[in-house]
Amino acid sequence: MLASLALAPGAFANFLTPKSGGSPNADSIAELYKLVLYIAAFVFLVVELTLLYSVYKFRAKKGAVAAQIHGNTRLEIGWTVAAGLILVVLTVITFIKLPSIINPPNSDPKGLVLSASTTEPSPPNGRKLTICVTGRQYIWRYTYGAACQQNPFTTKLPYSYQQMVAPANTTVVLVIQSTDVIHSWWIPSMGGKVDAVPGYTTYTWFKAPYAGAIYHGQCAQLCGRNHAAMTALVKVVSPTDYQAWIQQQTAAINAANQQVIQLRRVLTATGNL
């Protein structure tokens, strides 16, 4: 029974390779990682098999006198050139893959209808959805809208905590900041880690292809005693459902604000504030 559990496909899912499938940049990262892994595994096997062969072939024998070999110029040049060629190949492939990791693509025609924006990074046509990600001990806050970097409280932009809601087939640019210590935004299936550093702004992007998917993540930078509780979720919905959710969230926040205003008036009038 233990063997069946250990050898189940899910037991070793993404055991040696990073998660992907939630965004094109995550897929490119996974492809590059696997390519480097396969080449490294091949080199490892060649070196180890050569070592085992040499240990067996030239093992100590009674009465045998070890040959004195002072060097092999051709062999040394050969493995030096081979190692250099491998590095060149990896470098070229990495630079070929980097644009698809760094530069966001355009949203699909069936994605959310967006207006142009100039915030970096930007897809070729400049049309994207901007979401501000703010880390603080020990929760993530998401503010929705292109003006989230300026003054989201004055403009009363909708927001949510811990779970981000994003439309499918839409290029989403994340503006990442921190209010206290260094955090690290990381949803493995949607791309690499991005640090949230106090006083600085960092960026990343994703383009989720499937509505209905939920991607789990975690703060990847030790940020205090409750670091392990600083989880993150990205819920992908259809563009229509996203617009409906934004309207509902805005209405709910406005209603809550009105309740707070009324309560403050009552407390002030009764001398309890």
Q: Looking at residue 93, what is its pLDDT?
A: 92
Mean pLDDT score, 231-257: 92
Contact 164, 173 (CB under 8 A): no
Residues 6 or more apart in contact with residue 5 via CB below 8 angstroms? 11
Domain 129-268: CATH superfamily is: Cupredoxins -  blue copper proteins (2.60.40.420)
pLDDT tens string 145-167: 888 887 777 778 899 999 999 99
Q: Does residue 208 have a pLDDT over 90?
A: yes
Burial class (CB in 10 A: 0-12, 13-18, 19+), 139: middle
* Structure confidence at residue 119 (pLDDT): 52
Q: Residue ranges per domain, the chain? A: 20-57+74-102, 129-268
Contacts 24+ apart (CB under 8 A), 211-218: 211/168, 211/236, 211/237, 211/238, 211/241, 212/236, 212/237, 213/22, 215/22, 215/187, 215/188, 215/189, 215/190, 216/187, 216/188, 216/189, 217/185, 217/186, 217/187, 217/188, 217/190, 218/186
What integer pLDDT is reported at residue 183 of this predicted model?
96
Q: Of 50-59, 112-121, 228-237, which one has max mean pLDDT? A: 228-237
pLDDT at 54: 85
Coil/strand/helix, residue 207:
coil
Question: What pLDDT band is residue 59 in, cutting at 50, 70 and 90?
Answer: confident
Q: Is the peptide bond before 121 cis (omega within 30 degrees of 0)?
A: yes
pLDDT recorded at residue 12: 57
Q: Which two tokens stand for residue 5?
A: 């559990």
- 128 by Cβ neighbours in 10 Å (0-12 / 13-18 / 19+) ranks as buried
27: pLDDT strictly greater than 80: yes
pLDDT value of residue 31: 92
Question: How many other CB atoms are there within 10 angstroms of residue 266's CB atom?
Answer: 11
Query: With b meaning 16 or more CB within 10 Å and e meaning fewer, what string describes 218-253?
Result: bbbbebeeebeebebebbbbbbebbeebbeebbeee
Q: Are 133 and 140 in contact (CB under 8 A)?
A: yes
Residues 112-130: tens digit of each pLDDT: 766 555 456 788 888 889 9
Q: 127: helix, coil or strand?
A: strand
CA atoms within 13 A on the CB side of 165: 20
In the chain, the amino acid numbered 268 is T
Sign of the Cα pseudo-torsion (241, 242, 247, 251, in order): positive
Residue type, 85: L
CA dihedral 81, 84, 85, 86 (to 10 degrees): 130
Distance CA 156, CA 254 (A): 8
Segment 98-122 shows an average pLDDT of 76
Q: What pLDDT does 107 receive?
A: 87
Report which of residues 63 and 189 the model is more confident about.
189
**The predicted structure's pLDDT at residue 116:** 53
For residues 235, 238, 240, 241, the Cα torsion angle rounded to the nearest 10 degrees is -30
pLDDT of the residue at 58: 78
In contact, 32 and 17? CB cutoff 8 Å: no
Residue 232, pLDDT above cutoff 80: yes
